[in-house]
Amino acid sequence: MTTPTAVTFSETDIDRLGDHAGRIGLIVDAAGRLDVAGRRVNRLCKGALKRALEARVEAGFKEGDSLTLAYPAGMAAEAVDVICLARNAAEIPARHAGALLGQKRGKADLLLVAGALRRAAWVVQGAVLRDYSFRDHKTSGEVPEGAIEVMANDPAAVEEAVAPLLAVADGTFMARDLVNEPANILTTTTFADRLTEMTALGLKVEVLEEDKLEELGLRTLLAVGQGSASPSKVVVMQWDGGADDAAPLALVGKGVVFDTGGISLKPAAGMEDMTMDMGGAGTVAGVMRALALRKAKANVVGLVGLVENMPSGTAIRPGDVVKSMKGDTVEILNTDAEGRLVLCDVMWYAQERFEPAGVIDLATLTGAIIIGLGHENAGVFSNDDTLCNAFLKAADAEAEGAWRMPLGQAYDDMLKSPIADMKNIGGRPGGSITAAQFLQRFIKEDMPWIHLDIAGVASLKSPSKLAPKGATGWGVRALDRLVADMFEKG
């Protein structure tokens, strides 16, 4: 797994600024005012910093802007990176300011001069989140180097504040790594093995193999994987950090390690992207890791259905009818609408076994959600305003785009089948909504539930503010905050 950049903390010592050989990160406000450390840097580089800032302020220096002095005279530093951020900035701009520093760091050691900055912990988290590179399959021999040192007036307070934020960053890295892995490496077995390794963090991890899934009746999940040589599995991860009698929150993830579409074969162009079709399971794994690392005072269970959807002589066919664990029958009209077949069985199993306080499922489920929301927002579907609003609040606080979508009987009626209890698709109109309606049929009465369609946000073709091109780890931060807000404080 990609290890987050090491972070250390020290007390402000401006006498060290001239001798630091890596990069130095300074925070200034829109007026370009320098604190004591900034003034020392300016003196060391013979006024170059102040002149550069004055020019930028005159041109318009706003929050989120930056300037870099490369190899400043009079200093050992490789560069001085100056980020515009108000001293009392909120969490999101502070995190984004740190991300700029993380993006610029390269292989150099970064000395972040935080001083008395109010949101220094979020600056650090942003730097770590952006300073990510998936290099497991590079043969160049290059190893990420360098570290981040935070120089603050009260380093102990900053270190304490940043600890849970770095735990979430670690969980985000796990989600990114899983999504970025090629399918020949991240098989269903390898995926399960990586999750089992988290027992070292205090998680209880159980792997349900095909014979157990047959016994339990998870037939729709097994149907998806029956065309592949890779065995289908369900992995259950339990974090018991709350009261013994508190019902857990259940997180359920779609883990299709590769999706060819099955007999309803996808076009060749772009099929390589289907290594990320286990993005929902990756996010669930990342959240469970974050909760364990920060010792969350809540009970949460994460369940992921791991399958591979392949065409073969044993694959399910369009027109087949399969009985779910719940007992409802499903007419399979399109074998490329497989994620809902995985999720519906795992969601039902989660409710039967754990009687949770709520269920949240995550899946790279439909291309339709990308047509509707692009790559800015995940689609949010829910039967419970309280849980849904709490999640939307958490997602907004973490700047992870999420938009609530409708549900309704008219959409549900589109799933009627003449020969079974339901079809697995409802046609092209409202495709992401009918997929959610399908899943809702497997949610028990009065069970709070959210479905997150993350097809547009799990992996991006261009860099975002907090991640390079590729997997984003979307949802780890928002779900961790939801647990903290609703299940630890409630």
Percentages helix, strand, coil for the chain (3-state, rounded to 5) are: 40, 20, 40
For this structure, is 176 an active site residue?
no
For this structure, is 266 an active site residue?
yes
Q: Is 133 exposed, middle or buried (0-12, 13-18, 19+ CB in 10 A)?
A: exposed
Q: Coil, strand, or helix at residue 364?
A: coil
What 8-state DSSP symbol labels residue 198?
G
Identified catalytic residue from 176, 294, 326, 340: 340
- CA-CA distance, 159 to 374, in Å (whole number)? 37
- Burial 82-97, CB ≥16 within 10 A → b, else e: bbbbbeebebbbbbbb
Cα 192–Cα 197–Cα 199 angle in degrees, nearest 5: 115
How would DSSP label each residue in 114-179? Answer: EET-TTHHHHHHHHHHHS----TT--S-------EEEEESSHHHHHHHHHHHHHHHHHHHHHHHHH
Length of the chain in terms of residues written: 490
Identified catalytic residue from 266, 393, 404, 441: 266
- CB–CB of 49/69 below 8 Å? yes
Catalytic residue IDs: 266, 340
